[in-house]
C-alpha cells in the first residue's frame, strides 16, 4: 500500500492511497472463509458452503467493505503517525470512488482532502489591553431594588377600577378564536401617552388600542400577545381582572422572606445585604462580559489562516439539511469559535494548563450546591454529594462530563489570561451598562 501527502497550501492537503491486490486480497479471502462457515444457504449444510458460492454471492460486497475499512483506518493512522492536526474530518473524493471498477480492477486509488491547523503565534502579556465595565451600585439602584422587593413580597389585591401601576388580566379578542388564551397587560409597559385609556377601567370593559404604538418594548409586547404574536395594528382587549400589589413594609417580616429567618435584624443590615447581593450579581454579569471581551481581543489580534473552502464543504457534508446561505451566514461565528478553541489549546500547551478529573468532579459538586443554594442543602444531601456528582457526570453517555470539563478548562484559561493582560474597567451605572454592553 502506497500513501502520500500532497500539500496544496499551508492549511489544505490531499492524502493519496494506492492499494494493490496483495494489500487487500488476504483480508478478503479470510472474510470469505468466515462467510462460508457461518452462511445459511438453501441446498448446503451450514459451515459447508463452497467458497466459490460465497464469492459469487457476496464477493463484491466483501471486497468493497474490506477495502473501505482498510483505507479509512490507514488514513487515520497516517494522520496520527505524522502528527497532523486536523480541522474538520478527511473528505473522500467521491468522483474517484464512483469511478472505481470493482468487478474487474485489481489496483485501486483513493484520495482524501484534509484541512490542517496552521502555525500561529499568540501574544500573552501586559501589552494586550482589554476594556470592560464595572457597575456602580448607587443609591438609585438600591432604592429601585428595594421597591422591587417590596412589590415582589407585597399583598395582591383586586380593585374594582384600574390605576397606574396595575396589571390587567384578560383576553385578546380575535375573530374566529373560540377559546382565547388569557394574558396579562402590565401597565408599566404601556407608553405614557397611551396610558390614560387603561385607567379607571373595570372587569368586562374592552379597550381597543394599537399594540405596536402602545407597547413599544418588543419583549413585553411578545409576552403580552403570546399565541397571538403575529397580530399587528389595532386589537381589542377584554379585561377580566385587575391586579394591584400593595408594597410590603420594610420590616422584619420582609427581611425574613428575602434572606431567611433572623438573617438580618435591622433596616441598615437589610439594605447593606441587598447592596452586597446586587454587587455580587453585577460582578458575575460584568465578569461574563469581560470574558467575552478577552475572547474577542485574542481572536482579533491572533492571525490564523483557515482552509475556508474546505471547512465550508465539510460543514455542508456533515449536515445535509443546512443550506449554502446558512453556511455563509453562520460561518463567521463558527470560525470565531474554532479560532478561540485553537488559541486556548496553544496557550494551555505552552503553559502546561490541564484539567484533572478531581477538578471536574469538584465543579459538578459546586454546580449541584448552587442549584440548591436558595433553599440550602441538608446535611444528608451534602453527605451524598459525591454520589450526586458522579451520577450527573456519567449521565448522557459522558456528555455532561465533557461539557463540564470544557467549562473548567475555559475558566482556567480565562483566569490565566486575566493575570497576564491589562484590563481597564470603566465604572458605569446599571442603565449605562445595558446600553453599552
The DSSP-derived string for 370-398 is: HHTTTT---HHHHHTHHHHHHHHHHSGGG
The size of the chain, in residues, is 437
The pLDDT of residue 38 is: 76
User: What cell does 361 get?
Assistant: 468532579
How far is Cα 116 from Cα 402, in angstroms, rounded to an integer?
A: 24
pLDDT at 208 exceeding the cut of 50: yes
Give me the residue label for grid cell 500532497. 6
| Model pTM score | 0.75
Span 107-128, average pLDDT: 96
Task: Give which of 436, 431, 432, 426 is closest to 133, Cα–Cα.
Answer: 426
Q: What's the mean per-residue pLDDT of the chain? A: 92
The 8-class DSSP code of residue 189 comes to G
Span 295-315, average pLDDT: 96
pLDDT at 136 exceeding the cut of 50: yes
Span 299-311, average pLDDT: 96
The pLDDT of residue 373 is: 59
How far is Cα 432 from Cα 437, in angstroms, rounded to an integer?
A: 8
Q: What is the pLDDT of residues 57-107, one digit of tens each?
A: 888 999 999 999 999 999 999 999 999 999 999 999 999 999 999 988 899
Task: Name the strands in the sheet holding 2-7, side by side, starting at the edge strand that comes first in the sequence.
Answer: 2-7, 12-19, 108-116, 86-92
Span 139-151, average pLDDT: 93
How far is Cα 281 from Cα 43, in angstroms, rounded to an integer?
A: 78
How far is Cα 345 from Cα 355, in angstroms, rounded to an integer?
A: 12
Span 205-228, average pLDDT: 94
pLDDT at 374 exceeding the cut of 50: no
How far is Cα 306 from Cα 324, in angstroms, rounded to an integer?
A: 19
The pLDDT of residue 378 is: 62
Set out the domains of the chain in order of their start, with CATH numbers.
Answer: 2-116 (3.30.70.1050), 155-246 (3.10.50), 261-436 (1.10.3120)
Q: Are 211 and 225 in contact (CB under 8 A)?
A: yes
Span 246-272, average pLDDT: 94
Give me the residue label for grid cell 472463509. 33
The 8-class DSSP code of residue 248 comes to P
Dihedral of the CA atoms 427, 431, 435, 437 (nearest 10)? 50
The pLDDT of residue 180 is: 79
Give me the residue label for grid cell 482498510. 70
More confident residue, 352 or 436: 352
Phi-psi region of 285 (alpha: psi -120 to 50; beta: other; left: phi over 0): alpha
Task: Give which of 315, 304, 311 is closest to 343, Cα–Cα.
Answer: 304
Q: Are 409 and 115 in contact (CB under 8 A)?
A: no
Span 349-372, average pLDDT: 92
pLDDT at 301 exceeding the cut of 50: yes
pLDDT at 147 exceeding the cut of 50: yes
The pLDDT of residue 47 is: 72
Task: Give which of 404, 407, 312, 333 is closest to 87, Cα–Cα.
Answer: 312
Question: What angle do the packed helices 139-152 and 252-259 form, to 10 degrees?
Answer: 90
Dihedral of the CA atoms 91, 94, 99, 104 (nearest 10)? 60
Give me the residue label for grid cell 494586550. 128
How far is Cα 400 from Cα 325, in angstroms, rounded to an integer?
A: 32
Amino acid at each position: 500500500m502506497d500513501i502520500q501527502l500532497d500539500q496544496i497550501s499551508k492549511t489544505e492537503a490531499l492524502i493519496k492511497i494506492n492499494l494493490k491486490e496483495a494489500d487487500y486480497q488476504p483480508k478478503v479471502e479470510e472474510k470469505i472463509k468466515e462467510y462460508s462457515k457461518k452462511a445459511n444457504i438453501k441446498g448446503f449444510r451450514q459451515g459447508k458452503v463452497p467458497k466459490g458460492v460465497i464469492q459469487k454471492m457476496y464477493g463484491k460486497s466483501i471486497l468493497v467493505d474490506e477495502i473501505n475499512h482498510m483505507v479509512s483506518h490507514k488514513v487515520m493512522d497516517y494522520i496520527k503517525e505524522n502528527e497532523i492536526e486536523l480541522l474538520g474530518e478527511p473528505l473522500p473524493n467521491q468522483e474517484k470512488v464512483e469511478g472505481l471498477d470493482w468487478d474487474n480492477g485489481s489496483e485501486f486509488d483513493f484520495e482524501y482532502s484534509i484541512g490542517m491547523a496552521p502555525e500561529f503565534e499568540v501574544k500573552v502579556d501586559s501589552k494586550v489591553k482589554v476594556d470592560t465595565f464595572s457597575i456602580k451600585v448607587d443609591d438609585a439602584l438600591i432604592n429601585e431594588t428595594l421597591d422591587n422587593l417590596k412589590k415582589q413580597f407585597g399583598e395582591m389585591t383586586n380593585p374594582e377600577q384600574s390605576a397606574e401601576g396595575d396589571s390587567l388580566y384578560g383576553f385578546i379578542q380575535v375573530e374566529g378564536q373560540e377559546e382565547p388564551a388569557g394574558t396579562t397587560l402590565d401597565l408599566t409597559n404601556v407608553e405614557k401617552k397611551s396610558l390614560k385609556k387603561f385607567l379607571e377601567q373595570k372587569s368586562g370593559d374592552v379597550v381597543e388600542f394599537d399594540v405596536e404604538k402602545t407597547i413599544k418594548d418588543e419583549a413585553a409586547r411578545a409576552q403580552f400577545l403570546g399565541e397571538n404574536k403575529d397580530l399587528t395594528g389595532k386589537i381589542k382587549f377584554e379585561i377580566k381582572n385587575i391586579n394591584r400589589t400593595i408594597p410590603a413594609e420594610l420590616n422584619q417580616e420582609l427581611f425574613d422572606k428575602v434572606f431567611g429567618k433572623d438573617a438580618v435584624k435591622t433596616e441598615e443590615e437589610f439594605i447593606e445585604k441587598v447592596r452586597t447581593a446586587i454587587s455580587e450579581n453585577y460582578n458575575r454579569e460584568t465578569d461574563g462580559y469581560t470574558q467575552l471581551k478577552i475572547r474577542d481581543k485574542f481572536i482579533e489580534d491572533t492571525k490564523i489562516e483557515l482552509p475556508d473552502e474546505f471547512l465550508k464543504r465539510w460543514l455542508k457534508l456533515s449536515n445535509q439539511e443546512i443550506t449554502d446561505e446558512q453556511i455563509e451566514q453562520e460561518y463567521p461565528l463558527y470560525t470565531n469559535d474554532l479560532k478561540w478553541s485553537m488559541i486556548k489549546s496553544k496557550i494551555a500547551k505552552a503553559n502546561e494548563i490541564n484539567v484533572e478529573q478531581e477538578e471536574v468532579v469538584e465543579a459538578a459538586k459546586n454546580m449541584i450546591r448552587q442549584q440548591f443554594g436558595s433553599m440550602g442543602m441538608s446535611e444528608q444531601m451534602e453527605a451524598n454529594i459525591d454520589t450526586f456528582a458522579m451520577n450527573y457526570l456519567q449521565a448522557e453517555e459522558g456528555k455532561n462530563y465533557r461539557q463540564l470539563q470544557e467549562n473548567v478548562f475555559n475558566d482556567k484559561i480565562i483566569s490565566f489570561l486575566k493575570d497576564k493582560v491589562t484590563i481597564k474597567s470603566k465604572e458605569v451605572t446599571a442603565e449605562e451598562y445595558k446600553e453599552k454592553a
